[in-house]
Amino acid sequence: MGSSNGTHTQGGGIVVTLSIGAYLKRLEAEEAAKPRGGRAVPTVAELAEAAGLSRGAMYNLVNGQVKLVNLEKLSAIISELQRRGFDAQLTDMLTTFAADELLEAV
């Protein structure tokens, strides 16, 4: 079962949410806290170009507004972050909840 906010319920009552936007914000905060500002975190436009996505499609990924994710595109985003020196992993961009926890929060 999917919804327009990027959540997907899997067997066993687990909800997996794509959270690229939250991950990029964490990177920006971590880099800003470093002496001399750290590395530049790629923009949505730069990640879109690296993954071969339109800016609109990348915006939807960043904001969790997708029902299905093309793993090749997600892999290209992760590869671009790694190419720029970030230790990006798929698990950094996913959040899991028990389905009942998510329902309680709504």
Band of pLDDT at residue 96, cut at 50, 70 and 90 = confident
Look up the pTM and report it.
0.77
Report the candidate in 106, 102, 5 with the shortest Cα–Cα distance to residue 63.
5
Q: Count the domains in the chain.
A: 1
Band of pLDDT at residue 38, cut at 50, 70 and 90 = confident
**CATH code (residue 73):** 1.10.260.40
Decide if 62 is inside a domain. yes
Task: Please tell me what DSSP assigns to residue 2.
Answer: B
Residue 96 sits at the vertex; the CA angle it makes with 94 and 99, to the nearest 5 degrees, is: 145
The parent domain of residue 80 ranges over 7-105
The H or E element containing residue 55 is helix 55-62
Decide if 1 is inside a domain. no
Mean pLDDT, rounded, for 78-94: 95
Report the candidate in 31, 104, 93, 27 with the shortest Cα–Cα distance to residue 62.
93
